[in-house]
Structure 1
Amino acid sequence: MPQTHSHHPERPPVGLFLVPVHRRAAPLVDPAAWHGLDPQRLAWLIRHYTRDGDLVADLDNHPTVSKAARYLHRHSGTITTDGDDLRVTDGRPVRARRVAEDGVALLLAGLPRPDRDDLGLRDTAAAMHRWHRLLRPGGFVLVALPTHGLESGQISRRSIVISAARIAGLNYHQHIPVLVLPLPAHDPRTDAATAASTVPALLHGRHLRTHMDVLAFTATTLDQKDTDA
């Protein structure tokens, strides 16, 4: 399960989301899912990483995020773009706010972005720096990486995103693998007596991807120039 504290700063804890028991017999395609994460588990993450009255925003303004935030008594923010800048608004009366006092408590983002198929380190770091500016100190970014097979010689998407976040001044907080397919109750390859003679189950020569990754990053400080902007 997700944790709020890491005992080792260089080894963030790993939390695992299993396929819910009540969904094992049903198709795992949910039109209300946020980048493959079903509404129940999404709501759990929002509740875990925020408190009542906090501001929650999604880069794609996904309706499931706003519904879950309002249900949990959080404020749902709407993100708009102004050139390279991002702005967050919500339903509260407009008033002067300092980023350090009233920034986004939880920002959700799916990668890669709709306008890009790849995850370049430089572009991803620049994007995450813009996200960092929206966060209050102690706020979180949750990044969803859909299931994706790694081609030969490719650097993993997870490694690129973690490196980009560090360049942007964010701390790597947690890795949450989310199972999207039920795992078999028994895998013959785990039996020492039959493992050597068991043919691996491959799809087009590759193992079937059974999980997606959700990565959590946290903001501890903001640059002075960002606070004064």
Structure 2
Amino acid sequence: MPMPQTHPTDDRPPRAPVGLFLVPPHAHRPRQQSGASLPDWYGIHPQHVAHLIARYTRDGDAVLDLDAHPTIAAAARHLHRHPSGGIAQREVSPEESDGSTAQPTAPPAGLIVVTLPRLDVDSRDVSSLSRAIDAWQAELRPGGFLLTLLTAGPGTEAIGHRSSVIAAARTAGLIYHQHIPAVLVPLPPTEPRAELSPACRPPLLDGRHVRAHHDLLAFASTIPEAADA
């Protein structure tokens, strides 16, 4: 008889792959039509924003950003996507309208971008957040993605903010697709522990280390895309 440990069982969901965004070493920044430089998206460089939209959408997709951030919109337009600044603000372009007098409905989004926490959602309560995610994913096309940017730390409760968001998204029926930590500060040129001089103490805020990264969590729709005719 084989020993029980020779056939381990693990009922936990598979872990999502992890990516990483580092602060770009160059100083180049894309510009808006007015000539002004595009701002970071909550500390994330516009170059990485464009990479996300290119990765999670296809040509012609609608990109729904609940915060209507200018960098999201600019990157979407550059990649030939259609940006939208919120569920209530979604509009249909003239080429998408059938010309009827009935109120047209916007096409489902290929990507929805949400920052958490939000004033209108208790994102640390799994049930409340799951209801919000369920409403957001109703705007997704089959095969679309929900991208959440966590701008808060883990908190002091037993379950961390990231764990709460993952649990809520799974409860709403989405698949946890990828975790991307986005580093907000440049990495030191050398390993601090290899230096002969004492390493600088990390900055503190109210006795806690200042966060040096944000978490990006991508979730995929479980509704399959229709096969091409």
Q: Normalising by structure 1, what TM-score? A: 0.74
What is the correspondence of 1:207-218 to structure 2 with a 5 Å cutoff?
207-218=209-220
**Structure 1 partner of 2:186:** 182
Q: Provide, for residues 90-140 of structure 1, a one-character-per-residue CA deviation record: whole Å limited to 9, x for no partner.
A: 3243349999xx521111011111345753211111110011111111100
Structure 2 portions without partners, runs of 5+: 1-12, 29-36, 225-229
What is the correspondence of 1:65-80 to structure 2 with a 5 Å cutoff?
65-80=72-87
Identify if the C-alpha distance between structure 1 residues 52 and 165 changes in structure 2 by more than 3 Å, giving closer, same or farther.
same
Residue 138 of structure 2 aligns to a residue whose secondary structure is helix
CA distance in 2, matches of 1:93, 1:132: 21
**Structure 1 partner of 2:143:** 138
* Counterpart code for 2:96: P
Cα RMSD, aligned residues only: 3.2
What is the correspondence of 1:159-170 to structure 2 with a 5 Å cutoff?
159-170=163-174
CA distance in 1, matches of 2:38, 2:208: 27
What is the correspondence of 1:101-120 to structure 2 with a 5 Å cutoff?
102-115=107-120, 119-120=124-125
Question: How many percent identity over aligned positions?
Answer: 44
**Structure 2 partner of 1:124:** 129
Q: Is the 8 A contact 1:75 1:90 kept in 2?
A: no
Q: Which of the pair has more CA radius of gyration?
A: 2
**Structure 2 partner of 1:60:** 67
Matched, 1:43 2:50: yes
* Counterpart code for 1:212: H
* Counterpart code for 1:105: G
Query: How far 1:56 moved relative to its partner?
Result: 1.0
CA distance in 2, matches of 1:64, 1:161: 24
Q: How many residues are paired up?
A: 198
**Structure 2 partner of 1:93:** 96
Structure 1 portions without partners, runs of 5+: 1-8, 25-29, 82-86, 223-229
Residue 146 of structure 2 aligns to a residue whose secondary structure is strand
